[in-house]
Amino acid sequence: MAALHKHQILLDGKDLTELERLIVLDLGANDIGAFFSRVGLLFALVELGVEVVNSVSSILVMRNKAETMRKMVSAGLPVPQTLITESIEDAAQFVRSNFPCVLKPITGFGGMGVQLIDKKFDLENIYDYLKFHSQLFGKGAFLLQEYVRSPGYDIRALVLNHEMIASMQRVPREGIVSNIHSGGVARPNDVDVSSLAVRAAKAVRGMLVGVDIIPDEEGNLWVLEVNATPGWTGLQSVTDFNITKRIADVLSKA
């Protein structure tokens, strides 16, 4: 990552403050200290006149799943029934009332820490389950969601400057995590999600975002997440134009 030196921000010997625009493709940093260090460098770049895509404020929203859900609800978007709480009692009650359900870390990326609670043993030992998950990922807060039974896939839509430019279906190899780098398989998408994806991107004020949408068995569509630093390796494999070139062309003119 870059290092701050006087009025320069250096990365591999190159001064990032000389850029007009910086696209954040991977912020990484699951550890809270590293994360805020990198966010601080992005804020410094903005103060020195570099435009950051996505904006730092929108990145902060999207790296916080709880805040993203709040933005989705405020925008009137369809999201699964969700509980965000610091109370383990309330979390346990949600699991009992909505079993099976999905437990997610408040922060994180790439599907890390997303768990489907669907085993009777876990339900019977739900306090231990929640405590263990919190120690690894949650750090004192819980995000629980109704489990949407899908036809076996979810959809990733790539939105650029308020337009959906590509989408794909992602089929998990096992479990419920369908992220490509976690083993999910990409295939062409024939479900129209463009309007929903653009609305989700606007709700978090994102310029270049990946929107995760899941259909249920009745065909209803639900927004699961919005990602601030979406990769497109899998998406490119089912897209007939060069996504990188399209992004470069659009952002160079925006």
Q: What is the mean pLDDT of residues 112-139?
A: 91
* 27 confidence band (pLDDT: 50, 70, 90): confident
Q: What pLDDT, on the 0 to 100 scale, is given for residue 3?
A: 57
Q: What is the mean pLDDT of the chain?
A: 92
Given this model, what pLDDT does residue 178 score?
83
Q: Rounded to two decimals, what is the model's pTM?
A: 0.91
Q: What percent of the chain has pLDDT over 70?
A: 96
For residue range 40-54, what is the model confidence (pLDDT) as tens digits?
Answer: 999 999 999 999 999
73-101 pLDDT, tens digit per residue, is 999 999 999 999 999 999 999 999 999 99
pLDDT-based confidence at residue 4 (cuts at 50, 70, 90): low
And the tokens for 38?
A: 């990198």
Q: 162: which residues sit within 8 A by CB, 6+ positions away?
A: 198, 201, 202
CB 223 within 8 A of CB 203: no
Distance in angstroms (rounded) separating the CA atoms of residues 40 and 19: 17
Q: Average pLDDT in the 19-47 region? A: 87
Query: CA 113: distance to chain centroid?
Result: 13
CA–CA separation, 249 and 254 (whole Å): 9
> What is the spatial distance between Cα 59 and Cα 139, in angstroms, rounded to a whole number?
20
Interval 214-240 mean pLDDT: 96
**What's residue 26's pLDDT?**
87
Say how far apart CA 6 and CA 15 lie, in whole Å: 11
The size of the chain, in residues, is 254
All structural domains of the chain, each given as residue ranges with its CATH number in brackets, are: 3-53 (no CATH), 82-146 (3.30.1490.20), 149-253 (3.30.470.20)
Closest CA to 217 of 167, 150, 163: 150
pLDDT at 31: 75
Q: Is 103:134 a contact under the CB 8 Å cutoff?
A: no
With 0-12 / 13-18 / 19 or more C-beta atoms within 10 angstroms meaning exposed / middle / buried, residue 67 is middle
Residue 32: Cβ within 10 Å count: 10
Q: Tell me: the pLDDT tens digits for 156-173? A: 999 999 999 999 999 998
Count of other CB atoms within 10 angstroms of residue 34: 13
Half-sphere exposure of 159 (CA within 13 A, CB side): 28
